[in-house]
Amino acid sequence: MRTLKIYPTSINERYISEIVDALRDGHLIICPTDSRYAICCDALNNRAIERVCHLKGIDPRRHPLSILCSGISQASQYARIDNVNFQLIRSLTPGPFTFILPGAPQLPKIFKGRKEVGVRIPDNTIARAIADALGNPLMTTSLPADFTSEAEIHMNIDGGDTPEGDSTIIDCLDSAGPVVIRQGLGEL
């Protein structure tokens, strides 16, 4: 596993390009977010998503999957965001929130069985720069504290310290009444 040191205040574009190439080739990476480090892959690569799910012991038919987006514009291509949810997301992002939204048809087949997707727009310039350069979201899941499968990971993006906590999850499937289903670092 290769480690790349990237400073959030000075993004190394050559490293970002290298990371994007690895993601497009189906590799998995460890990337900082605004709540903790995460295992990530290209959210449009079914095989890579299956590898992440296997690595974490996630059954994608039962466990919601999340995507990390560069901004609301990118998120709106992969999730249905009505005006009410748009205002909520705009007011809270970038930040440590995951919004459960109806999935859009552009999501890969592995997402379609659930008809919903978790959407993150983190307050981490590195993660957003990767999603922006990739041109589509990253599929992401938190890195467990006892993670030992480093052989499965192609790159570790060292972006410095991150808060150790979870994102706040907000169910926005009914935009008339969003519900916090997990309180994490994000405060409403």
Nearest 5°: the CA angle 65, 74, 93 is: 80
Q: Report how far apart the first and last C-alpha atoms of the chain are (Å, whole number).
A: 38
Give all domains of the chain, ordered by start, each with its CATH number.
Answer: 2-182 (3.90.870.10)
**What is the Cα–Cα distance from 61 to 28, expressed in whole angstroms?**
21
Nearest 5°: the CA angle 52, 45, 4 is: 65
What tokens appear for 154 in the block? 């192609």
Confidence (pLDDT) at 106? 86
Among candidate residues 125, 74, 127, 68, the one with its CA nearest the CA of residue 99: 68
State pLDDT tens for residues 100-136: 999 998 888 787 667 899 999 999 999 999 999 999 9
C-alpha R_g of the chain: 15
**What is the Cα–Cα distance from 173 to 117, expressed in whole angstroms?**
10
State pLDDT tens for residues 49-92: 999 999 998 888 888 889 999 999 999 999 999 999 999 999 99
Contact status, residue 130 vs residue 18, Cβ threshold 8 Å: no
Residue 165, Cβ density class (10 Å: 0-12 exposed, 13-18 middle, ≥19 buried): middle
Can you tell me the mean pLDDT for 37-51?
95
Report percent pLDDT > 90 for the chain.
76
pTM: 0.94
Measured between alpha carbons, how far is residue 173 from residues 29, 61, 81, 116, 178 in Å?
Answer: 30, 18, 9, 8, 7
